[in-house]
Structure 1
Amino acid sequence: MSEKTRKRFIAGATCPKCKATDTLMLYMQNNLEHVECVQCGHKQSQPDDKVNAVTRSNESVIGVFKP
C-alpha cells in the first residue's frame, strides 16, 4: 500500500521560472523537501542537512546514492 503525500501551497510565494504567485506547492518525498509550480511544472528539491554538511564549498552535489 502506498503512502499518500501531503501537499501544501505556499501562500504569497512566486515561481522563479514563470513568476506566477500562489502556484507553488511543498511536499516531502523520500525524506527530501520538494517544491513544484502547478502552473509551469518547475521543480526544486532541498537536500537534507547531512548532504549540506558534507559538501565542500567549491563543489556541487549532483546526487546522493543510498544503497
Structure 2
Amino acid sequence: MNKAPKKRFIAGAVCPKCKAMDTMALTKEHGVEKATCVSCGEQMVQTEEHVEKVVRQHEQVIGVFKP
C-alpha cells in the first residue's frame, strides 16, 4: 500500500499566485521538496541539493523557497 507523503503547513506563508495566507503545505518525497497551495494548486519544487546550498551551517531549516 502506497502511503501519501505527510503534509506540513507553513504558518504565515502566502501563496505567490492567489495570495491566500496559511494555505501552503510542504511535502518531501524522494529527496524533492514541494510546496503546494491547497487553495489554488500552485506548486513550487526544489531538490535537496538546492536546499543544502542556501542553508547556513548551524541552522535547522525545513526548506527555503524563492518564488
Whether TM exceeds 0.5 here: the answer is yes
Give CA deviations for 1:4-28 in whole Å, capped at 9, x if unaligned: 3111100000000000000000000
TM-score by length of 2: 0.67
Consecutive unaligned residues in structure 2, runs of 5 or more? 54-67
Using the size of structure 1 for normalisation, the TM-score is 0.67
The runs of at least 4 consecutive aligned structure 1 residues that moved more than 6 Å come to none
* Aligned-residue CA RMSD (Å): 1.9
Structure 1: gaps spanning 5 or more residues: 54-67
Query: Between the two proteins, what is the percent identity of the paired residues?
Result: 44
Alignment coverage as a number of residue pairs = 52
Q: Provide the rounded CA distance (Å) in 1 between the counterparts of 2:48 and 2:10.
A: 20
Q: Flag the structure with larger Rg.
A: 1
